[in-house]
């Protein structure tokens, strides 16, 4: 009998409400995430969708889906050309350089490689084919070697961003050009000079517009209609709106059933910008706080909510990670010293309850904040068990397995090596101190605390359990 997969609810930007995720094909999920334009290092704002949608992928796999995850590289772009000139390089060399730098950051953030990383430069035939289809259907036209999309012809334009054509005109968010039929029309193909990066096409030597690239790559990798399309909130308009218009005009089918967008990151309550001097690269933040702290930062709040990036918040994230690692290390030592025996029924029920709490949170539009609450409630219980010498190895192992599986869904507990773990001597003293406190032998507890301090560690009780901190 085939197991019925757990259903989660996703906030769909297209409809403006949470909807149960129903895939096109039962048991499978196709996800397309807009990847980086590779002209520079990624900043911390870029890191948020990278981490968040990696968690989405991990969670869907956790509850039984077979996921096909696509993330593109935009390696053909005017920004790349400008950066190449500044670096006295070629656009191709610059793109390859920053793809490599992105992948370093992604590995640091424990982001799994996509099943396919399509590159625009390798998709010119598909892009030209898609533009040709739009021209043939009357949705696009050539003008002086450029090709433009007839925005007004697509009746549902604005359905994702909830903007009318009149609103767009009033807001003057469009480029006025004499070679366009309508100021609202956007470029699908742009002609280029002989000395510029270009490809041959039926219209001119040139290169594609930004929006058509993702339409072509998504279609080729996942078909005419995809399950979930993801990206930052800043991409809703015009990028994703234009993707919908292009793709649905070409195929006559819905482009994506679900649209997920993460919120912005502000710096000390201000929009991040180079001119304001509050622009932080992911690699620079990681050099100070560690990549894993950055990843934790990205998932400690609900993905749709705006986030305020501060040094205080990063320190808090690092402290939370410390508590998770302390639990991991304490479990390891306790298991090594525990005797064999059947797990307690109440403990197994508690494990099941914490797992369900985690699943309920994640099923509610990927609520990683509440999922972390479930993890820390598990941590508190596990720390108590580790301090009890009567708890069996089998029970601790069951708890450790659950703890490991939940943190793995979140992509945590990967960065610190064994040599950074708390020494066995310290862990043993902490366990003895917990037992002394349990027996209300506070004099012994204080003595053990001093012994722990002499070894270079501080022990304190928190709402999440016992915390062991290495003194600086």
pLDDT of residue 16: 97
Rounded to an integer, what distance in angstroms lies between the CA atom of residue 125 and that of residue 471? 59
pLDDT of residue 175: 58
Residue 318 scores a pLDDT above 60: yes
pLDDT of residue 465: 56
Q: Domain ranges in the chain?
A: 9-262, 311-470
Residues 204-235 have pLDDT tens digits of 999 999 999 999 999 999 999 999 999 999 99
pLDDT of residue 416: 83
Q: The whole model's pTM is what?
A: 0.88
Encoding tokens for residue 112?
């799994």
The predicted model gives 408-435 an average pLDDT of 82
Residue 454 scores a pLDDT above 60: yes
Residue 432 scores a pLDDT above 60: yes
Encoding tokens for residue 430?
């902490």
Residues 132-150 have pLDDT tens digits of 999 999 999 999 999 999 9
pLDDT band at 177 (very low <50, low <70, confident <90, very high): low
Residue 435 scores a pLDDT above 90: no
Residues 16-36 have pLDDT tens digits of 999 999 999 999 999 999 999
Residues 382-418 have pLDDT tens digits of 999 999 999 999 999 999 999 999 999 999 999 886 5
Residue with tokens 């990066």: 197
> What order of strands is seen across the sheet that includes strand 140-143?
140-143, 146-149, 186-191, 206-208
Domain 311-470 = CATH 3.30.700.30: no
Rg (CA), the chain: 26
Would you tell me how many other CB atoms lie within 10 Å of the CB of residue 109? 22
Residues 100-128 have pLDDT tens digits of 999 999 999 999 999 999 999 999 999 99
pLDDT band at 430 (very low <50, low <70, confident <90, very high): confident
3-state secondary structure of 389: coil
pLDDT of residue 205: 97
Domain 9-262 = CATH 3.40.50.620: yes
* Strand-pair partners of 74: 37
- For the chain, the first-to-last Cα distance in angstroms comes to 56
| Close Cβ partners of 415 (under 8 Å, ≥ 6 residues apart) | 110, 290, 291, 292
Residue 172 scores a pLDDT above 50: no
Residue 420 scores a pLDDT above 60: no
* Choice among 186-200, 256-270, 406-420 with the minimum mean pLDDT: 406-420
Encoding tokens for residue 344?
């307690």
Encoding tokens for residue 361?
């949170």
* Percent residues over pLDDT 90 in the chain: 78
Encoding tokens for residue 456?
């270079």
Would you tell me how many other CB atoms lie within 10 Å of the CB of residue 312? 9
Sign of the Cα pseudo-torsion (76, 81, 83, 85, in order): positive
Residue 2 scores a pLDDT above 50: no
Residue with tokens 């895939």: 23
Specify the higher pLDDT residue, 427 or 90.
90
Pairing relation of β-strands 66-71 and 140-143?
unpaired
* Percent residues over pLDDT 70 in the chain: 93
The predicted model gives 81-107 an average pLDDT of 97
* Choice among 329-338, 364-373, 425-434 with the minimum mean pLDDT: 425-434
Q: Three-state secondary structure along 174-193?
A: CCCCCCCCCCCCEEEEEECC
pLDDT band at 68 (very low <50, low <70, confident <90, very high): very high
pLDDT of residue 437: 84
Residue with tokens 């310290």: 426
Widest Cα–Cα separation across the chain: 87
Q: Which stretches within 364-423 are classed as H helix? A: 368-386, 393-409
pLDDT of residue 207: 97
Nearest by Cα to 56 from 74, 22, 33, 40: 33
Instruction: State how far the alpha carbon of 103 is from the alpha carbons of 256, 279, 283, in Å.
Output: 27, 20, 11
DSSP assignment of 349-367 equals: HHHHHHHHHHHHHHHBTS-
The predicted model gives 79-108 an average pLDDT of 97
Residue 464 scores a pLDDT above 60: no
Mean pLDDT in the chain? 92
pLDDT of residue 1: 32
3-state secondary structure of 119: strand
DSSP assignment of 317-340 equals: HHHHHHHHHHHHHHHHHHHHHPPP
pLDDT of residue 5: 66
Encoding tokens for residue 31?
């996800």
Residue with tokens 């002394």: 436
The predicted model gives 413-425 an average pLDDT of 74
Instruction: State how far the alpha carbon of 273 is from the alpha carbons of 13, 187, 277, 313, in Å.
Output: 26, 27, 7, 20
Residue 47 scores a pLDDT above 90: yes
* Choice among 60-64, 201-205, 224-228, 264-268 with the minimum mean pLDDT: 264-268
The predicted model gives 329-335 an average pLDDT of 92
């Amino acid at each position: 009998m085939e197991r019925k997969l757990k259903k989660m609810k996703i906030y769909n930007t297209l409809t403006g409400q949470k909807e149960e995720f129903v895939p096109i094909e039962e048991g499978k999920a196709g996800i397309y995430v807009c990847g980086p334009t590779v002209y520079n290092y990624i900043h911390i704002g870029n890191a948020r969708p990278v981490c968040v949608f990696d968690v989405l992928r991990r969670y869907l796999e956790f509850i039984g889906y077979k996921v096909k995850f696509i993330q593109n590289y935009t390696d053909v772009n005017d920004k790349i050309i400008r950066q190449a000139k500044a670096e006295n390089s070629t656009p191709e060399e610059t793109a390859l350089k920053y793809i490599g730098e992105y992948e370093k950051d992604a590995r640091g953030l424990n982001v799994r490689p996509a099943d396919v990383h399509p590159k625009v430069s390798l998709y010119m035939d598909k892009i030209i084919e898609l533009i040709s289809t739009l021209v043939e259907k009357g949705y696009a036209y050539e003008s002086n070697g450029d090709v433009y999309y007839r925005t007004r012809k697509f009746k549902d334009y604005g359905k994702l961003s909830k903007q009318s054509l009149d609103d767009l005109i009033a807001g003057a968010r469009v480029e006025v050009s004499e070679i366009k039929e309508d100021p609202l029309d956007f470029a699908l193909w742009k002609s280029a000079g002989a000395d510029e990066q270009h490809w041959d096409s039926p219209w001119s030597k040139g290169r594609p517009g930004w929006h058509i690239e993702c339409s072509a790559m998504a279609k080729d990798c996942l078909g005419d209609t995809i399950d979930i399309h993801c990206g930052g909130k800043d991409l809703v308009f015009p990028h994703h709106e234009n993707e919908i218009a292009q793709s649905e005009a070409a195929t006559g089918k819905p482009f994506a059933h679900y649209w997920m967008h993460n919120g912005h990151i502000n710096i000390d309550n201000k929009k991040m910008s180079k001119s304001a001097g509050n622009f932080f690269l992911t690699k620079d933040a990681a050099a100070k706080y560690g990549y894993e702290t950055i990843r934790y930062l990205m998932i400690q709040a609900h993905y749709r909510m705006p986030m305020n990036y501060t040094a205080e918040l990063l320190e808090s994230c690092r402290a939370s990670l410390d508590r998770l690692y302390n639990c991991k290390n304490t479990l390891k030592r306790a298991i090594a010293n525990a005797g064999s025996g059947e797990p307690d029924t109440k403990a197994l029920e508690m494990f099941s309850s914490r797992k369900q709490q985690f699943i309920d949170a994640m099923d509610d539009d990927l609520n990683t904040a509440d999922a972390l609450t479930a993890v820390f409630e598990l941590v508190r219980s596990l720390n108590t068990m580790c301090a009890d010498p009567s708890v069996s190895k089998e029970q601790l192992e069951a708890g450790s397995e659950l703890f490991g599986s939940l943190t793995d869904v979140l992509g945590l507990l990967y960065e610190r090596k064994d040599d950074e773990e708390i020494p066995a001597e310290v862990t043993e003293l902490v366990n003895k101190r917990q037992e002394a406190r349990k027996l209300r032998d506070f004099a012994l507890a204080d003595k053990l605390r001093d012994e722990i301090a002499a070894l270079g560690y501080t022990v304190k009780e928190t709402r999440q359990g016992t915390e062991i901190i290495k003194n600086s």
